[in-house]
Amino acid sequence: MDPARKLATYQDLLALPEGVRAEIVAGEISTQPGALPKHSRVQGSLTRFIGGPFDGDDGRGGPGGWWILGDVDVRFTAHDIVRPDVVGWRRERLPSPWDTRPIDVAPDWICEILSPSNAAHDRVHKAELYARHGVAFYWIIDPNERTLEAFELAARRWVMLGSYDGSRVARIAPFEAVELEVGRLFAPVG
């Protein structure tokens, strides 16, 4: 990195035109195009099948205890501000996120949904960032391959908990209290 280069901060994100989806990793702004419908489908399905019982059903029969949010700004450092596709906090660690932007509490779980333009960034740079800041669980979902890979942080390294395709029904940490029909995350085939 050029020592004379100014590292981007949250103020630089706020200065971008309205509607531009951007993040800062290692002081560099990266913009992303809008999501494809199949990406958006996975995001909505996760919010329903994980967010439903762990966030929305709290006190109504679901396990509860989490905030599950999509597309919120999370600041790890002044020069590392990301917007995960779906992100979760245990409520005891983040009692009230509603009027906060960016959120400065490291999440307990992050799920990134791969797109052809961001797969390497999510698998390498963001995975390293999340491990460095102690995110306990990281899921990577590939809508093209119709797969979900789940990782848990152990000694600052990602350990694979499992890899699942659309035919699997699984209990996946940290949400093992419910069965997840992995195929229901994806757009219908055909």
The string of pLDDT tens digits covering residues 109-161 is 999 999 988 899 999 999 999 999 999 999 999 999 999 999 999 999 999 99
pLDDT on residue 56: 86
Q: Which pLDDT score is estimated for 33?
A: 82
164/162 Cα distance (integer angstroms): 6
Q: What pTM does this model have?
A: 0.94
The domain locations on the chain are: 35-185
**Collapsed DSSP state (helix, strand, coil) of residue 131:** helix
pLDDT digits (tens, 9 = 90+) for 169-187: 999 999 999 999 999 999 9
Structure tokens at 175: 């949400």
Residue 170, SS3 per DSSP: strand
**pLDDT tens digits, one per residue of 26-72:** 999 999 888 889 999 999 999 999 999 999 876 677 899 999 999 89
CATH class of 35-185: alpha beta
81 HSE (CA, 13 A, CB side): 24
